Amino acid sequence: MIVLLAVLVTVVLLGHRLIPAGGIVETFLPWVGLAIPMLALFAWRRRPAVNLPAVLLPLIAWSVLFAPALMPDDKSHDLIAVQHNTSDENPDPTGTVRELLRVSPDLVALTEVLPQNLPTYDAAFGSAYPYRAAQGTVALWSRHPLTADGPLDIRPAAFGPDWNRGLRAVARTPHGDVAVYVAHLPSVRMGLSGFATDPRDESAAKLGAALKAEPLTQVLLLGDLNATLHDRGLRPVTSRLDTAPAFAFSWPAKAPVARIDQILARGLTVTSLWSLPRTGSDHLPIAARVRF
Residue 194 has pLDDT above 70, yes or no: no
Q: Which range has the top average pLDDT, 19-28, 98-107, 193-202?
A: 98-107
CB atoms within 10 A of CB 99: 18
Which of the four pLDDT bands, split at 50, 70 and 90, describes residue 42?
A: confident
pLDDT digits (tens, 9 = 90+) for 43-94: 888 877 767 888 999 999 999 999 999 999 999 999 999 999 999 999 999 9
Share of the chain above pLDDT 70, in %: 97
List the one residue out of 162, 195, 184, 206 whose CA is nearest residue 261. Answer: 184
Q: For the segment 138-152, what is each residue's pLDDT rounded down to a tens digit?
A: 999 999 999 999 999
- β 189-191/269-275 pair status: unpaired
As a whole number of angstroms, the distance between CA 193 and CA 140 comes to 37
What confidence tens digit (pLDDT) does each residue in 225-247 have? Answer: 999 999 999 999 999 999 999 99
In Å, how far from its chain's centre is CA 135? Answer: 20
Strand order, beta sheet including 219-224: 146-151, 166-173, 176-184, 219-224, 261-266
- Residue 252 preceded by cis peptide, ω within 30: yes
> Phi, psi at residue 93, to the nearest 5°?
-55, -40
pLDDT at 195: 66
**What string of DSSP letters covers 144-172?**
S-EEEEEE-----TTS-TT---EEEEEEE
